[in-house]
Amino acid sequence: MTIDLVLCGATGRLGKEILIEVGKQSNINLIGCLASKNNKNFGKKISTFIESNCELELKDSFEGISKPDVVIDVSSPEAFEDIVKFSEVNKSALIIASTGHSNEQIESLKRLSNSIPIMMVPNLSRGINFIKKLLSDNDLSAFSKKVKINEIHHKNKKDSPSGTALELEKIIEEKNKEIKISINSTRDESSIGVHSIKIIMENESIELKHEAKSRDIFAQGAISAINWIAGKTPGIYSLSDL
């Protein structure tokens, strides 16, 4: 099955990696690439400013884009309303891989999931999602009352704490109501993404750590998500459902 895809946030660091990865897939047909209205490459062919064979023009709106099977958003919450409306009107599966959304925006996604399939993935890494599953499957409160989450990202990352750190916190809270959780956020010149979860016990500790060595892992996670969610029934999904 060929999947028609629209990519929102095509010129960001992750968007560029997804463009390259999509170009390697014979079953994914990219029909639209969007970026913010002030992007300097608006109206240019993607291949003229990104190492890609994509001949689509970079757009700042959904005007003229035909109905896709999947929309993936790796942009920012500023574009949220337009992306959600376009997905709803076209009954397209929606992958939200951007972070920093308000509670109201999250609630609107939950309501929309009654009509279309939505995957919420603040981190497209399969490794991070493995750690999430470990945390959700185990009760830590039997031997620990304190957990420290540390996250490190590049200085250009806007949200702090990261969406991944907040999701890890939520997973632990849901399973362990009495555990005290703290988050420490650091921004530096080079980190792609480092997350560690330290489970503190009386005379010992356990630490789970994930370090992204390349943005390729997020682009590959995006491809897995796109292939999986196309044609799914309405609902809220995560990468752990794959």
Residue 213 DSSP one-character state: -
- Residue with token string 């942009």: 75
Catalytic residue among 153, 154, 180, 210: 153
Catalytic residue among 157, 198, 213, 232: 157
Contacts for 198 with CB less than 8 Å, ≥ 6 apart: 147, 148, 149, 150, 205, 206, 207
Task: Identify whether 195 is a catalytic site residue.
Answer: no
Contacts for 34 with CB less than 8 Å, ≥ 6 apart: 6, 7, 8, 9, 10, 58, 59, 60, 61, 62, 75, 79
- Residue with token string 């409306």: 85
Task: Identify whether 153 is a catalytic site residue.
Answer: yes
Question: What is the set of active-site residues?
Answer: 153, 157
